[in-house]
């Protein structure tokens, strides 16, 4: 696989706490949403692919069924929203709201 986050894929990602991983995924998703709002499909797609890459790296190191299940559903939901028919009726607002909790939780110790 050709990773865009090469150093993270090489093992550094597993050293990052889960909340920070999710906040970083949220940042890539936010970029994808922002580029889509600016009608730049290419940049939106690239940011979305980076988000999927980070989700996949997180799935590789997921501990426990509940976390694995949550990550798999997140991935499915985002693919449906960005590439599918939006069967789950997601919106920019609902996607942002989901990741906002992780961003606040990851930043609370700073």
pLDDT tens string 41-78: 999 999 999 999 999 999 988 888 888 999 999 999 99
Domain count, the chain: 1
Quote the tokens at residue 65: 């069924």
- 15 DSSP assignment: G
Mean pLDDT (whole number) for 88-109:
91
- 54 DSSP assignment: H
pLDDT value for 61: 85
Domain that holds residue 101: 17-107
Q: Is residue 93 part of a domain?
A: yes
Q: Is residue 6 part of a domain?
A: no
Q: Is residue 1 part of a domain?
A: no
Q: Is residue 35 part of a domain?
A: yes
CA atoms within 13 A on the CB side of 2: 1
Q: Using CA atoms, how far apart are residues 24 and 30, in angstroms rounded to an integer?
A: 10
């Amino acid at each position: 696989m050709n990773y865009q986050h090469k150093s993270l894929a090489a093992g550094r990602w597993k050293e990052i706490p889960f909340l920070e991983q999710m906040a970083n995924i949220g940042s890539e998703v936010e970029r994808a949403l922002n580029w889509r709002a600016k009608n730049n499909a290419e940049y939106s797609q690239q940011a979305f692919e980076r988000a999927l890459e980070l989700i996949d790296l997180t799935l590789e190191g997921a501990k426990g069924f509940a976390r694995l299940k949550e990550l798999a559903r997140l991935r499915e939901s985002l693919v449906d929203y960005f590439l599918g028919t939006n069967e789950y009726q997601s919106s920019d607002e609902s996607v942002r709201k989901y990741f906002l909790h992780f961003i606040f939780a990851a930043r609370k110790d700073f």
